[in-house]
Structure 1
Amino acid sequence: MVLGVAKSRLAVERSNWRKDRPFGFVAKPANAPNGEVDLFTWHCKIPGPAGTCWEGGLFPLDMTFTENYPTAPPCCYFPAKFYHPNVYPTGLVCLSILNAEKSWKPGMTVKQVLLGIQELLKEPNNGDPAQQDAWEDIDMNPREYERKVKLQAQRYKA
């Protein structure tokens, strides 16, 4: 029964995304090995916020949902070793809206999550670091942080 709720909600999310998605963003369910659409795994791309050192990048992100969605938040992953203070070395995004014990609300949408992650690129939370190098750079050597972010934006050029 729970699986049906999650699948139905994700089907609605997919339909809503097709009708109203933010400019430059990509989000689509993966294809399962049998060729069917896998609503529980989405491949996304988040544009770097304009006017920041992230600008020009189109950053790949995978969202995985469980059968407990929307009660439980999705897990969101950038590629491993993605450079950002709030991204673990595995690529897992550390953001309060993705934490069921903090700010996750079942009414949150894929669109809201992706916009929240884009905002996190622009405004890292140094009070909740997930990665030592980026956290130290942004705090002690902002120019080095910006240089590394610009290199990463080039690597994921839009």
Structure 2
Amino acid sequence: NPLVSEIVAMPGAHKVFDSSQIPGEIIDMMVVNTETLKDNPALGKALVGAWYEVMDLMTSDTPEGKAAKEEMAKASGTDLAGFDAQLASTAMFFDPAKAVEFTNGTELPKTMDLVRNFLFSHGILGTNATSVDMVGMSFADGSTLGDAKNVKLRFDPAFMAEAATATP
């Protein structure tokens, strides 16, 4: 995070916490409305395909890979060294098979249960949230946390699994 890097670099600043201390709780992910995805499955395939093309580019030791990361760094308000430092401290799923493994794993529902309880207990779900179970989350194994009739977050590895088995 470029902003955090700048703050930590200030005299007298001390980092007391970062997300590496809570692995799996803050997930950078692509989210698409369920109905939109049902109506346009090609959109899901295209988005995931583009995502992993960029992941491949970022990890390539090529002039194009370096140029792409330099542009991403600039868009993030940092330079290449700062961007590489961010990547080094971020759990990235450069390989779709690893993302599928994470999404299918038994830890994700447990972690999301901790997250939703934290959000509810700190009022982050909003003033109208009367229960931690108001909003539902569904997982790859078919399990659900919260209201199964009000699922707002679905962890579905289908498109990532397709990307994992695709031949370049």
TM-score by length of 1: 0.26
Structure showing the higher helix proportion among its residues: 2
TM-score by length of 2: 0.25
Tell me: higher relative CO, structure 1 or 2? Use CA pairs within 8 A at least 6 residues apart: 1
Query: In terms of Rg, which structure is larger?
Result: 2
